[in-house]
């Protein structure tokens, strides 16, 4: 019933799938079973894990992305479990136990996964949520309890999920697919051990390092940033968030493609129907208060909740819960500018202020548009790992040969490029910083101009630059590079050559 007739993401996934299918009769039953699992994953939507510290707002962001308030936030045992949100034809929640048993759960009256499951949580592997939401058709979102938290059991569960094949018992291994891409949630001030958490996480992601190809980060809770503490922000919270995100990008790159500011809470309320017309009416009343009263109330959440005013305290508490002070301020500004604004248009303003569209755009640019390559690379890594784990030397050789043949094909260039990016991003192949940056630009965007680092420049200049760099990388590959660098350089040369060819045709 849970099986979905999914299509392969593209030609690269198809190539790896046929490699698995061809090898299957030639390998031991254990390896063949592994290949079957790889095939199953290849035809499933891209698996994106939302990772980060506990309480960084992961579940809130998951709700915003799915467009439905379905993941419990804040408290409850469910926030300590891994939950996979995937497409289904009927909304359904299943608890999967470590022994493979499954139990269907009802949604709670609010339509959410119950915060407390009413089962022995120690025996739960994870939760599967099947939802009819269109967003999930080509993206499976995995909500994780959080790394770097003090709750050892949650950390162990997260690590087990992410390590996929190695750490799980055979039954849950089938149920829990490793993540292929990561959305990393940080809040103000990435601590040095966040880098470590990210490294630990990415090392486990589908048994390969994450890099700019399959990892992006968001600076969540941007509304809570004290603008006056950020140089150059001119007291503007969003500007401060953008500057901080840029600073964090310098710390976290090249492990992530980019860091984008977002206000998950406001995004969730705007996107899931949490923000209602009753809320809009309450805000309308607040907007009419005299300026001095308003300013005082907006000084702190306590003042906002406790001040004497016509809007009932309970209603104000609800506004705080849904929007926090910053979101309320945004809404009041929108009402000042346009007193007759409709509830729907106000919701839209809040969505714009939340930065969610930017995150969606990045998800599309980095993950969705490259799902084929990401899935194929993850599958190849699994195939390699399966071969390495085989006790049979001849079998190992047979698998390696098949991979070599696949990678040598011209159409596998994209796969080799992804591999090269990953090697450079992880430091497995050392490159001088300027060259590393140049290589990693190929992972930053599918747009040739951006890959060349020449956004907005005329085509003629792009063509000339691509040709020049193609030549440079070819000579670097032959002279002056270590053997490992040389292999990367050949791939980079070809990438420039292909861009040159493509752009030349466009002139
Ligand atoms: N002010 C503010 N609070 C947020 C934001 N995102 C999440 N929160 C709150 O942070 C708390 C933890 O969120 P949750 O999603 O459960 O975090 P998780 O443990 O990482 O899944 C909840 O009370 C959320 O309402 C945000 O962007 N701004
Ligand atoms: Mg959570």
Give the pLDDT confidence of 91-125 residue by residue, as tens digits: 999 999 988 899 999 899 888 998 888 888 888 88
Whole-prediction pTM: 0.85
pLDDT band for position 499 (50/70/90)? very high
pLDDT band for position 380 (50/70/90)? confident
pLDDT band for position 181 (50/70/90)? confident
Contact 317, 305 (CB under 8 A): yes
Q: 8-12, 221-225, 381-385, 458-462: which range is least confident on average?
A: 381-385
Token pair 């098949």: residue: 402
Mean pLDDT over all residues of the chain? 86
The string of pLDDT tens digits covering residues 440-451 is 888 777 789 999
Q: 116-120, 326-330, 467-471: which range is least confident on average?
A: 116-120
Q: Is the CB of 72 under 6 A from ligand 1?
A: no
Closest CA to 348 of 240, 275, 261, 265: 275
pLDDT score recorded for residue 2 = 37
- Residue 320 above 60 pLDDT? yes
pLDDT score recorded for residue 34 = 86
What is the distance in A from the centroid of ligand 2 to the CA of 141? 13
As a whole number of angstroms, the distance between CA 287 and CA 276 comes to: 17
At how many degrees (to 10) do helices 393-408 and 413-425 cross?
110
Q: Is the CB of 268 under 6 A from ligand 1?
A: no
Name the fold adopted by 45-263+357-366. Answer: Rossmann fold (3.40.50)
| Domain residue limits, the chain | 45-263+357-366, 274-353, 431-506
Contact 398, 476 (CB under 8 A): no
Q: Is the CB of 220 under 6 A from ligand 1?
A: yes
* Average pLDDT score over residue span 292-315: 95
Pairing state between β 92-97 and 83-87: unpaired
Atom of ligand 1 at shortest range from CA of 72: 16
What CA–CA distances, in Å, run from 484 to 310, 397, 420, 440?
70, 21, 10, 16
- Residue 157 above 80 pLDDT? no
pLDDT band for position 148 (50/70/90)? very low
* Average pLDDT score over residue span 328-337: 97
pLDDT band for position 174 (50/70/90)? very low
Q: Is the CB of 265 under 6 A from ligand 1?
A: yes
Task: Count the alpha carbons within 13 Å of 160 in the hemisphere toward its beta carbon.
Answer: 23
Q: Where are the alpha helices (DSSP H) in 138-297?
A: 152-163, 170-175, 192-204, 237-252, 264-271, 277-287, 291-297
What CA–CA distances, in Å, run from 393 to 24, 27, 28, 406?
16, 11, 12, 20
The string of pLDDT tens digits covering residues 237-296 is 999 999 999 998 888 877 788 899 999 999 999 999 999 999 999 999 999 999 999 999
* Average pLDDT score over residue span 224-233: 93
The string of pLDDT tens digits covering residues 351-379 is 999 999 999 999 988 888 888 988 898 88
The string of pLDDT tens digits covering residues 54-80 is 788 999 999 999 999 999 888 766 667
pLDDT score recorded for residue 53 = 79
Residue spans of beta strands (DSSP E) within 394-483: none
Closest CA to 220 of 182, 264, 163, 169: 264
- Pull the structure tokens for residue 208: 């390969």
Please report which ligand is nearest the Cα atom of 183: 1
Q: Is the CB of 264 under 6 A from ligand 1?
A: yes
* Average pLDDT score over residue span 302-327: 96
Q: Is the CB of 83 under 6 A from ligand 1?
A: no
- Residue 172 above 50 pLDDT? no
pLDDT score recorded for residue 3 = 39
Pairing state between β 83-87 and 139-143: antiparallel
As a whole number of angstroms, the distance between CA 220 and CA 168 comes to: 31
As a whole number of angstroms, the distance between CA 151 and CA 117 comes to: 18
What is the distance in A from the centroid of ligand 1 to the CA of 144? 14
């Amino acid at each position: 019933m849970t099986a979905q007739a999914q299509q392969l993401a593209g030609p690269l996934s198809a190539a790896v799938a046929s490699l698995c299918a061809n090898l299957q009769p030639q390998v031991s039953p254990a390896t063949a079973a592994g290949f079957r699992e790889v095939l199953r994953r290849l035809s499933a939507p891209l698996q994106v894990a939302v990772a980060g510290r506990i309480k960084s707002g992961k579940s809130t962001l998951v709700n915003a992305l799915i467009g439905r308030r379905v993941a419990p936030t804040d408290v409850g045992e469910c926030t300590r479990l891994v939950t996979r949100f995937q497409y289904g034809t009927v909304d359904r929640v299943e608890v999967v136990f470590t022994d493979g048993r499954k139990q269907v759960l009802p949604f709670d009256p609010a339509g959410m996964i119950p915060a407390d499951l009413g089962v022995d949580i120690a025996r739960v592997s994870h939760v599967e949520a099947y939802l009819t939401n269109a967003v999930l058709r080509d993206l499976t979102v995995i909500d994780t309890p959080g790394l770097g938290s003090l709750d050892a059991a949650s950390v162990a569960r997260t690590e087990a999920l992410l390590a996929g094949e190695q750490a799980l018992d055979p039954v849950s291994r089938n149920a829990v697919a490793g993540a292929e891409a990561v959305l990393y949630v940080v809040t103000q001030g990435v601590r040095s051990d966040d880098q470590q958490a990210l490294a630990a996480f990415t090392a486990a992601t589908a048994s390969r390092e994450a890099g700019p190809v399959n990892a992006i980060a968001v600076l969540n809770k941007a509304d809570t940033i004290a603008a006056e503490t950020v140089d150059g922000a001119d007291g503007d919270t969003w500007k401060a968030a953008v500057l901080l995100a840029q600073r964090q990008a310098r710390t976290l790159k090249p492990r992530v493609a980019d860091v984008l500011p977002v206000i998950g809470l406001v995004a969730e309320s705007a996107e899931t129907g949490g923000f209602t017309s009753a809320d809009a009416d309450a805000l309308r009343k607040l907007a009419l208060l005299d300026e001095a009263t308003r300013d005082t109330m907006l000084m702190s959440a306590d003042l906002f909740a406790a001040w004497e005013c016509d809007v009932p305290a309970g209603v104000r508490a609800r506004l705080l819960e849904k929007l926090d002070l910053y979101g309320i301020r945004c809404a009041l500004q929108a009402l000042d500018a346009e007193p007759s604004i409709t509830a729907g248009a106000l919701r839209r303003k809040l969505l714009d202020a939340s930065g969610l569209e930017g995150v969606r755009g990045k998800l599309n640019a980095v993950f969705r548009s490259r799902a084929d390559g990401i899935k194929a690379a993850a599958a190849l890594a699994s195939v390699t790992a399966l071969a390495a784990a085989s006790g049979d030397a001849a079998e190992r050789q047979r698998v390696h040969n098949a991979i070599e043949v696949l990678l040598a094909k011209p159409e596998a260039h994209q796969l080799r490029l992804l591999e090269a990016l990953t090697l450079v991003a992880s430091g497995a192949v050392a490159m001088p910083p300027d060259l590393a940056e140049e290589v990693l630009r190929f992972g930053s965007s599918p747009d040739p101009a951006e890959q060349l680092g020449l956004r907005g420049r005329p085509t003629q200049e792009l063509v000339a630059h691509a040709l020049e760099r193609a030549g440079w990388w070819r000579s670097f590959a032959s002279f002056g590079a270590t053997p490992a660098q040389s292999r990367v350089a050949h791939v980079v040369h070809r990438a420039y050559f292909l861009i040159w060819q493509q752009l030349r045709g466009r002139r």
